Structure 1
Amino acid sequence: MSTTSNRVVVAGWTLVPLALAQFICSFAGSNMNVMLNDMSKDLGTTVAGIQLSITLFLLTMAALMVPFGKLTDLLGRKTCLLLGLGVYGVGAVISALSPGLGLLILGNSILEGAGTALLIPPVYILVTLYWKDLQGRARSFGLVSAAGGIGAATGPLIGGWICSAISWRAAFVFQAIIIVVIILFAVALKDPLPADPSRPYDTIGAVLSGGGLVVFVAGILAIDTAPILGFVLLVVGAALIAAFFAWIRRLERHGREPLLATSLFRNRLSNLGLVTQNFQWLLLMGISFLVSSHLQVVRNYNAIETGVIFTAATLGILVSSLAAGRLVKHIAQRTLIVAGFLITAVGTLALLLVGAVPGAWPFAPGLLIIGLGIGVMLTPSVNIVQSAFDEDRQGEISGLSRSISNLGSSFGTAIVATVLGFGIGQRADGYVLAMVVLVVVAIGGSIVSGFLPGRAKVAGTATVTNG
């Protein structure tokens, strides 16, 4: 890895494995939404069981992203990327071969979730280290974010097509094939920073943070069917998270290195950016989960019919994400994020209004608007957070950033599933109420992002070459 003084020069293929990695992980989070009926029948379980597997996949990512993000400093970014790809690939194969819900949860929810938590932080760290100027970094994050948004939006379309043409199992084989392609590219990447296996690792902090997130989201899921248990889990989860913060403060007072430095949470710019990321993925995954479930369970559309409708969201995300890298040259990142949330709110309101309209195509305009809104704000939100810290903090902030984003995805599916009560057909107002919640989140996101500064500086001035 060499350096230059003014601009970043990277090989043309550098972004290919990074963007593909984000694509396949986001794809995995949404493609099962259109295969609920097929998978539940084949595996001898219920739609609720498949929905639970989806939520556990997202939750595993959120719980492990911070602990695994810290491993990038010890093992190296490239090593974690390749290790994560391997774990993910094994999980995809197990999922494809699973005879029942138990092995599906092992392969998809646990192994694919853990693999994603290992490989995603290196993706964002490497982008930050390879590109140092605002425009170059924004353009690169734009491509990676676009790949993630497209993966989430095309998940229902590609998954639905594969499920209808072949089998839902082939969708996991597709993931395994993509993983092999990524590995072939990733082995040629170079790590800008050396690994430091001598650095201490905060195991207690990892257990407290991961356990707290898991228990808290489990509480959200349990509220509908077991209110008392759900409340208890929420309280216990919050207590574990509070204990985590108390623990890392204790380590710092004794001069030891915690899983996360408390200084990360004293950066106002980063904190606001993290909230916007959480809201963005809550909206994207919540809307995908809600509309997919509604079309299949209530309106009895099959996987491919449901997936086709999401083409509108895919198109919107593709157009706006790719344009975001250019827009940031002329428009403040705060303005782009605020506008994105407002556009998304309009699209979500459109979906609310067509809830009782016959047919599936009336959902397309709202999904298109939502895709445009989410796509335009994904890039600046990521860029603001990653650029708020120097190179030596990238492992921590990348893990925290992706954990917050995936926690948003978990919240989106958990909240929608709770509102629907896993019984959409029996609660006609479930769709409307869940969509109202998402409209409120979109409006809240626009208010929070309004407090961001107009312009954000990029941390660091050095540049690197990947050759």
Structure 2
Amino acid sequence: MLAPLALAQFICSFAGSNMNVMINDISHDLNTTVQGVQVAITVFLLVMAALMIPGGKATDRFGRKRCFLVGLVVYGIGAILSAVAPGLGVLILGNSIFEGVGTALLIPPVYILTTLLYTDLTSRARAFGVIMAAGGVGAAAGPLIGGLITSAISWRAAFVFQALVIALIIALSRTIEDPLPADPDRRFDVRGAVLSAGGLVLVVMGILAADDNLGLMLGLLVAGLLVLAWFVHWIRSEERAGREPLLSTGLFRDRTSNLGLVTQNAQWLLLMGTSFTVATYLQVVRGYDAIETGVIFTAATLGVLASSLAAERLARRVPQRTLIIAGFALAIVGIGILIALVAGNPSPWAFAPGLLLIGLGLGVMLTPSVNVVQSAFPEDQQGEISGLSRSVSNLGSTFGTAIAGTILVANLTQNAYAAAMATLAFGALAGLVTATRLPRTATTGAAPADPPPQPPGAR
């Protein structure tokens, strides 16, 4: 049962990073710009982040396996549309919209089903280790796999590859059983979904507008924050009225979980921001092709894979707080080396030591952060917390690509590259400081790892 869940996380993470090595090929083929491709990548990540909370909530009403399968089908349609796209508009429709919506539907069930099917700490940690390793490798290996496919065939074949993997996951999903029945009478907060998605979209659009119009950027950011404030007011009023909101405010009352969510956001900001920044710099500034760019990213892939495979053994011996702190520390050192070596060395291998350390750091801390959050809540709240957790992580990916990418694309030079990477280092430092505030004695969340059974449809 774990294979299709891990493959689903792999392909969604792969989709978020493999386009980074196709920037030149796509822009030339579709007669667009580097900024146009950046928008497509960022909108994909944004759609995931904006719809992940509603997607997680929908699993309670329609069932986890059903949402998983529907998400796979929608994603597969998007991959096929992207493969035949005649222009940037259709690419955004297929990759950014359809694949983004499909991911928002299928990823929350991955984490909910894992939590429900693996109830003891050891098996749950092992299962999350496999899934997060698949996600980390998908994101880190995306440039290499995408580069190989693009160089050997074309960038369009990379989307065909995604569609084939989706078909395989659907076939493997026959073995999955949903431990809890769907609750068709479960209320779905439509207004809350619109407000949360709208607020996040406005905030990220503001970041993307930073290099074009400062007034527009500030206007969008303020509008986004006001809509998000309206969302918070709405869910509080729904709770006071005795109705079930899109997101329970009780999810934010667990300090350990809140800190874990911040570390997740910082981790994916670092991962996707580094992938986009380095890949764009290699292709646009240094003139490397897709395969050369992908090969350079092998160092990060090896780092993520090595530390992810060791995650289970480390989790038995080392507190999760320590692993998260160590991961951020390694990543910050890696960024420093990446900036220093690249500045004075024209060799492509100057990127390898820094990318290796970043990969090692990310692989060490991805699983503990997820386990800290998921294990903090009982079964009846897994739909909400899974949606929130994945939304926060994907929002980090969106911020990483939007912020670092905007700094780089606005002025494609060595100095802009260093400034973009330094911004990512600041995000990693914020994650490190947050991790030091996690409880020293807690190895998972504050709630028991094996919560008492809840009746079907329990709120």
| TM bracket, shorter-chain basis | over 0.9
- Residue 145 (1) aligns with residue 142 (2): no
Partner of 2:245: helix, strand, or coil? coil
Map 1:73-112 onto structure 2 (within 5 A).
73-112=60-99
Q: Which has the higher mean CA deviation after the structures are superposed, 250-259 or 427-436?
A: 427-436
Q: For 2:140 and 2:451, how far apart are their aligned partners in 1?
A: 35
Aligned to 1:4: none
CA distance in 1, matches of 2:134, 2:409: 32
Instruction: Give the aligned length.
Output: 448
1:188-235: CA deviation from partner (whole Å, max 9, x where unpaired): 210010000101110000000000000001101111211100000000
Question: In the aligned structure 2, how far is the partner of 1:428 from the partner of 1:32?
Answer: 22
Could you give the per-residue CA deviations for residues 101-160 of structure 1, whole angstroms, max 9, x where no partner exists?
Answer: 000000000000000000000000011011112121111100000000000011000000
Check conservation: 1:278, 1:407, Cα contact below 8 A.
yes
Cross-structure match for 1:10:
none
In the alignment, is the contact (CA less than 8 A) between 1:200 and 1:257 conserved in 2? yes
Alignment match of 1:186 (pick from 173, 181, 187):
173
| Counterpart contact for 1:30–1:152, Cα < 8 Å | yes
Unaligned 5+ segments in structure 1 are 1-13
**CA offset at residue 71 of structure 1?**
0.3
Q: Is the 8 A contact 2:121 2:449 kept in 1?
A: no
* Cα displacement string for residues 26-74 of structure 1 (whole angstroms, at most 9, x for unaligned residues): 0000000000000111111111111110000000000000011100000
Aligned counterpart, 2:456: none
Preserved contact between residue 355 and residue 432 of structure 1 (Cα < 8 Å): no
After TM superposition, the structure 1 stretch with the greater mean CA deviation from structure 2, 374-383 or 439-448, is: 439-448
Distance in 1 (CA, whole Å) between partners of 2:212 and 2:170 is 42
Q: Describe the SS at the equivalent of 1:361.
A: helix
RMSD, aligned CA: 1.0
Distance 2:28 2:248 in 1: 47
Q: Which residue of 2 aligns with 1:399?
A: 387
Cα distance in 2 for partners of 1:51, 1:443 equals 25
- 8 Å CA contact 1:225–1:421 kept in 2: the answer is no
Query: Are the equivalent residues in 2 in contact too, given 1:27–1:154 (CA < 8 A)?
Result: yes
- Summarize the alignment of residues 190-229 of structure 1 with structure 2, pairs less than 5 Å apart: 190-229=177-216
Structure 1 position 363 matched with structure 2 position 351: yes
What's the CA shift string for 1:410-442, capped at 9, x where partnerless? 000000122124441xx4410011111111222
Structure-2 separation of matches of 1:363 and 1:28: 23
* Corresponding letter in the other structure for 2:57: K
* Cα distance in structure 2, aligned partners of 1:78 and 1:462: 22
Match of 1:162 in 2: 149
Following TM superposition, the consecutive aligned residue runs of length 4 or more in structure 1 with deviations greater than 3 angstroms are none
Of 402, 421, 426, the residue aligned with 1:435 is: 421
Q: Distance in 2 between matches of 1:301 and 1:380?
A: 36
Describe the superposition over 1:278-303 as per-residue Cα deviations: whole angstroms up to 9, x where unpaired: 00000000000110000000000000
Length-normalised TM-score, structure 1: 0.95
Report which stretch shifted further, 45-54 or 382-391.
45-54
| Corresponding residue number in structure 1 for 2:433 | 447
Alignment of 1:332-371 (within 5 A): 332-356=319-343, 357-371=345-359
Q: Give distance in 2, aligned partners of 1:226 and 1:461.
A: 51
Structure 2 equivalent of residue 232 of structure 1: 219
- The answer on whether the counterparts of 1:82 and 1:187 sit within 8 Å (CA) in structure 2 is no
- The equivalent residue for 1:9 is none
The letter for the 1-side match of 2:421 is M
Instruction: Give the percent of matched residue pairs that are identical in Structure 1 and Structure 2.
Output: 64
AA partner of residue 352 (structure 2): A
Matched, 1:417 2:395: no
- Which structure has more helix as a fraction of its residues? 2
